């Protein structure tokens, strides 16, 4: 792997499992400029397709999931570590469906289930796009549902 700073070859100083065994985290060092950085080696599963609302099929792309989540958590108190963990959990749930084609609706529901526990504002941002809210009433209803779930969860714990 090339150094992102000086473009010379780098050396691996440490490797370990990451994302629940679905990736390898490698610490690298450049012998030329002495910079250190981290890379992730992930399994890329080919063949999984996402069926969009208009019945169009597209290959599953992790970066699209990350993009949507980053928009939802923008300016929220969510660390990069929390972000990467939730992406891994969501992806794990998607692959555990063991289907060749997964609807964007199913993916959205999986994302929402994880965002609900991660950050309520991020959840509302994502759900407003996912369910295509047209009015403030839709937001109000979703907030009420979220508060009810919150009250139920606090009674259980």
Distance CA 128, CA 132 (A): 6
Evaluate if residue 157 carries a pLDDT over 60: no
Mean pLDDT of the chain: 86
Which residue in 86, 83, 96 sits closest to 48, CA to CA?
A: 96
> Over the stretch 37-94, which tens digit does the pLDDT of each residue have?
999 887 665 678 999 988 999 999 889 999 999 999 999 999 988 998 899 899 889 9
Confidence class for position 35, pLDDT limits 50, 70, 90: very high
Q: Is 44 exposed, middle or buried (0-12, 13-18, 19+ CB in 10 A)?
A: exposed
pTM: 0.66
139-151: average pLDDT: 81
96-130 burial code (b ≥16 CB/10 A, e <16): eeeeeebbbebbbebbbebbbebbbebbbbbbeeb
Measured in whole angstroms, the distance separating CA 133 from the mean position of its chain's CA atoms is: 22
């Amino acid at each position: 792997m090339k150094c992102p700073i000086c473009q010379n070859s780098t050396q691996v100083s440490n490797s370990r499992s990451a994302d629940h065994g679905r990736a390898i985290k490698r610490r690298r060092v450049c012998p030329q400029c002495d910079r250190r950085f981290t890379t992730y080696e992930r399994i890329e599963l080919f063949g999984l397709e996402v069926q969009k609302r208009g019945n169009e099929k597209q290959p599953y792309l992790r970066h699209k999931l990350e993009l949507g989540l980053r928009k939802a958590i923008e300016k929220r108190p969510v660390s990069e570590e929390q972000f990467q963990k939730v992406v891994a959990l969501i992806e794990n749930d998607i692959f555990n469906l063991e289907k060749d084609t997964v609807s964007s609706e199913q993916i959205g529901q999986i994302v929402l289930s994880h965002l609900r526990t991660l950050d309520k504002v991020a959840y509302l941002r994502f759900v407003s796009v996912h369910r295509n809210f047209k009015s403030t009433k839709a937001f109000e209803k979703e907030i009420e549902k979220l508060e009810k779930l919150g009250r139920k969860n606090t009674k259980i714990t």
